Structures are given as C-alpha cells and as structure tokens.
Structure 1
Amino acid sequence: MIAGVLLALPGLAAATELRGYSVDGDAIPQSLTGRAGDATRGRALVVERSSTCILCHSGPFPEQKFQGDLAPDLSGSGRRWSEGQLRLRLVDASRLNAETIMPSYYRLDGLQRVGAVWRDKPILSAEQIEDIVAYLVTLRE
C-alpha cells in the first residue's frame, strides 16, 4: 500500500545524488541545503495528500477532512523535537527505529521493494525536506 502511495507523489525529487549530511546522535543538526526552508511551502507539502504525511499523521489541518492515525499527531512537533531531530526523522526514520513504517524520504541505499520510478532517487529533495522541517518547528502547540 505504501509503495502505491509513493508512486503517486507529486514532483519526484529531481536530484539523483544526495547532498552529504552528518548524523549527531538522534539528529542531523545542519541544513541539507545550507539554508532554512520555507515554512509555507513545507505546510503545503505536509497537507498535500499525495505527499503521504497526512495519510499516517494527523495535525492542525482543519481543511483536511481525513487524516491518518497510524503515526504521531504532528501538533506540537516543534516543542517535542528539535530542528535536527525532525530532519533525521524525515531523511531516514529507520535510523531511530528499524521497524518504522515511515518512508526514508532522503535515502537511496539499503532499501527493499523500491519501485522502478524511485530507484536511485530520493522521494523528497533536500529543499523539500528543509521546507517541511521549517514548517514542523512552527508547530509548538
């Protein structure tokens, strides 16, 4: 099911090479792009049904009638996790929990059952990751 949803994602990440990053404990402290993302674009990505976020997560998105309940509510994300912790969860949540159902949005190696359209490409670009992080840190309540 998740693989089918991922095939429907808009704007397949154009970059085929990942930008380098360093993991420090449970976080990626530095921006993947070297600059902050745009929270408005990040919110649009989160609520876009085909981006998969709200298929599993719920949150403060009153305009979205159907929201997921398989994963933590995104309300208060910016209070619960640092920018770097959010970034790692988006880049590769399996580093924190090998059994997670959350896709690795910015990882290419060691993946199984990857559709042909997604091989050798991240699901989200570095810019999209930073935009989502910029939005999630604003969710303080």
Structure 2
Amino acid sequence: MKRNIIALALACAASGAAAAETAPGDVAFDYGAVAQPLTGQPGDPERGREVVGSKSLGNCVACHANSEMSDIPFHGEIGPPLDGAGDRWSEAELRGIVANAKMMFPGSMMPSFYKVDGFVRPGNAYTGEAADDSFGPLLTAQQIEDVVAYLQTLTE
C-alpha cells in the first residue's frame, strides 16, 4: 500500500500534475466563470487577504469596501462591497471575476488581473513607453487562487 502511494505521488510529479498552471491565454471562461483552478495548489485565504489589501498587488480595496479589512484605510465605493462575496458568487464565478471581470460584466471598470493580450495600448509601468515582451499578468495564477479562497470566506 505504501509503495502504491509513493508510486502514485512520483507519477503525478513526473507528469507535472502537481505543479500544473494554466497560462493566461488558456483560461476557459464559461459565461464569465472559470470552473478549473488555475494551479495545482489550493488557494490560501491568508495570502489572498494580503493580495486584496496590498497596494502593490491586487489593491482591491481601492474600489471595493470590505468590512473584514477594517485595519486597512480608505476603501473605495466604485465596485460592489466584498462583504458576502462568498455567498453571492460560486468559486468558479469568483475565479472568473478576479481573472477577467469583463468576461462576466462587459462594462466593468475592474482590471483584468490574469490577462496578457488583447489590450489597446498597454504601457510599460509608468515609463510612457509601450510594453515589451515581458508584459505579464497583474497577478500570478496562484495569487488568483489565493484571492478566490479569501473571497469565499466573506459570507454573511
């Protein structure tokens, strides 16, 4: 039995199943929702909370109020409150909204956090120059999963 478990673990590692990550261009949206996780690792709600509140990462509170994050000042009112997000949307819907909200809400002002192409004219940070080949998503696949895990904890 122990050998079978070890063999299965080695087979998964060799096939890349444990470290699988979906590239931004390969994300499958179904009416805005993304059913399959973007990584082989579960999301971490604590790390997701850091992304949501960090000005250098997600900075979600710049647009969304969130009473659970009363330790972070200056919540925005542009987007809907995050309170109850775990009740309002499924895990797949939350993943789709965070990855690219425009797939579910075409008129949304929310940034597409996991997108690398199809932009009109992306800039290279604050340089005034056009983006080069290193233009990547705003958040990593794992950060998306972490944010989704955090948002699922926000229930009413």
Is the pair's TM-score, using the shorter chain for normalization, greater than 0.5?
yes
| Counterpart residue number, 1:63 | 71
Q: Distance in 2 between matches of 1:63 and 1:43?
A: 12
* Runs of 4+ with deviation above 4 angstroms: none
| Counterpart residue number, 2:93 | 85
CA drift of 1:100 comes to 1.1
CA drift of 1:112 comes to 2.1
In structure 2, which of residues 132, 138, 141 is the aligned counterpart of residue 123 of structure 1?
A: 138
SS in 2 for 1:137: helix
| Cα-Cα RMSD | 1.9
Which letter does structure 1 place at the counterpart of 2:63?
A: C
In structure 2, which of residues 55, 69, 74 is the aligned counterpart of residue 49 of structure 1?
A: 55
Structure 2, unpaired ranges of 5+: 1-20, 126-130
Q: Is the 8 A contact 1:20 1:32 kept in 2?
A: no
Residue by residue, what CA displacement relative to the aligned partner does 1:30-53 show, whole Å, maximum 9, x if unpaired?
100033111100001111133320
* Percentage of matched positions with identical amino acids: 40
Normalised TM-score (structure 1): 0.81
Q: Distance in 1 between matches of 2:25 and 2:103?
A: 18
Q: How many residues align?
A: 126
Which letter does structure 1 place at the counterpart of 2:140?
A: S
Q: Distance in 1 between matches of 2:39 and 2:26?
A: 10
What pairs up with 1:1-141 in 2 under 5 angstroms?
Answer: 18=24, 20-50=26-56, 51-59=58-66, 60-117=68-125, 120-141=135-156
Q: Distance in 2 between matches of 1:116 and 1:26?
A: 28
CA drift of 1:113 comes to 3.3
Greater RCO between the two (CA within 8 Å, min separation 6)? 1
